[in-house]
Chain A
């Protein structure tokens, strides 16, 4: 079974500063995706960033980037130039790809980290 662990229940950061959210996972699979999702107070889940395990290059999306360490099974999210709108609960998630490269789409979520951006 796969597990995803987010060890930081809550984090806070000043506006315009940088913050890093931690995530570790455990799996015996070699072919998978990792995701960070954001859930603002509206509770709508929003995809922040995705990383394919076969790619060595870390994914980036504007102010969001990841540090993917496959051997260490670590997948941290860095938010640069934090904005008030980044205040949300952030979930790290894992999805297995089957041998054919397609997946059943089942996500395993971490416990979540509540991030508060202060003005």
Chain B
């Protein structure tokens, strides 16, 4: 098993659809993250969970809704998305949040395209 697994790898959806992205980590970490990666732009932090509680929401539109049912799983529920939401969505985990020196471990991402 790889450390952080994301499904699906690719997703094409219309603006009126509802879909969910899934992330699972097998590293025993306590913190999980959602990032958006657009071409030639820095990674944008969307949500942070620590011990299953959301600790940060970086002003993300409500059409993105995260869910963290346990420390190993993280979901990103999508509805009524816009074309500018097309991007690579990366999930990451780290041992803890709020401690320096701990690297984040990333999944391969979901490539999302909005028609």
Indicate whether A and B interact. Answer: no
Interface residues of B (CB under 8 A from A): none
Interface residues of A (CB under 8 A from B): none
